[in-house]
């Protein structure tokens, strides 16, 4: 089974310079264009049989566009939502500096979840998705940077607490595979489909 991990496009939080997490922002106009480019790439190169997606607006909108372009069913899953960052959600980066950061993986900001709780949530949903998709050749998971980071950790069976990170750009695509020989990485964080948009945007700026 091949697993596409896909991050949502640019959201309003990205241009407002605020913490996102559980803050529920929609895609920007640029974000929609990014998603359309990504969806065409997926349609041409690796159409999934089913899409699993976070219920937060930016991921939900991304998955909906992908679904329409590829004519693929979506399952929306609350457990694929981004890290619960509690009181930081929607807060400006400047104001967030006044709030103490957790020192240990078991600690969390007020009303949020710890790094350990987040990772365990990803372990549970990843296991559930893989188990329910065992008869499929390719699936897609549309979610968030932190979610994808932890799903890759889960895929590699890495320790709960590790310094290794996996960055995902806007509409970045990762392609993983699980087969009888083991677990394999086809590629990570491919954003080549939006390069033309970046050039146009930079020229306007």
The two tokens of residue 132 are 């329910």
Look at strands 50-53 and 73-76 and give their pairing: parallel
Choosing from 8, 144, 153, 174, the catalytic residue is 8
Instruction: State phi, psi for 185 to the nearest 5 degrees.
Output: -105, 120
Q: How far apart are CA 109 and CA 129, in angstroms?
A: 29
130 membership: H or E segment, kind and range: helix 115-132
Side-chain half-sphere exposure of 157, counting CA atoms within 13 A: 4
Q: Which two tokens stand for residue 94?
A: 């400047």
Query: Which residue in the list 2, 82, 83, 174 is annotated as catalytic?
Result: 82
Q: Annotated catalytic, 82?
A: yes
Give yes or no: 83 in active site: no
CA angle 138, 28, 113 (to 5 degrees): 65
Which residues are catalytic, by number? 8, 82
């Amino acid at each position: 089974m091949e697993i596409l991990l896909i991050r949502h496009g640019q959201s309003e939080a990205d241009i407002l310079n605020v913490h996102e997490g559980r803050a529920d922002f929609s895609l920007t106009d640029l974000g929609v264009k990014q998603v359309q480019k990504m969806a065409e790439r997926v349609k041409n190169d690796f159409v999934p049989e089913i899409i699993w997606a976070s219920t937060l607006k930016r991921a939900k909108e991304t998955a909906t566009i992908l679904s329409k372009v590829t004519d693929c069913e979506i399952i929306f899953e609350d457990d694929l939502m981004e890290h619960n960052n509690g009181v930081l959600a929607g807060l400006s980066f400047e104001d967030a500096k006044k709030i103490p950061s957790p020192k240990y993986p078991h600690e969390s900001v007020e009303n949020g979840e710890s790094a350990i709780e987040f990772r365990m949530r990803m372990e549970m949903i990843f296991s559930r998705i893989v188990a329910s998709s065992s008869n499929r050749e390719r699936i897609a998971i549309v979610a968030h940077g932190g979610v994808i980071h932890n799903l890759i950790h889960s895929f590699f069976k890495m320790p709960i607490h590790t310094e290794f990170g996996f960055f995902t750009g806007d509409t970045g695509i990762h392609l993983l595979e699980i087969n009888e020989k083991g677990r394999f990485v086809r590629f990570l964080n491919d954003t080549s489909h939006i390069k033309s948009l970046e050039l146009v945007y930079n020229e306007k700026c």
